[in-house]
Amino acid sequence: MKKDLLMQEIQDHLPSTGALITEPLTLAQVAKLATTAAQARAL
């Protein structure tokens, strides 16, 4: 998994409040966020 690319994509979909993901994500969280990002792209 290209973690850096995934993290960038997740951050791109966060509200622009300057929030950064700095803590490790569980695999379930990553999967959920990746699914959300994929759904956002599909819209």
Higher pLDDT, 20 or 41: 41
CA distance 38 to 17: 21
Higher pLDDT, 35 or 43: 35
Give residue-wise pLDDT tens across range 21-38: 555 667 677 778 788 888
Structural domain spans, the chain? 2-42
What is the pTM (predicted TM-score) of this model? 0.37
Nearest to 38 by CA among 16, 9, 17, 11: 9
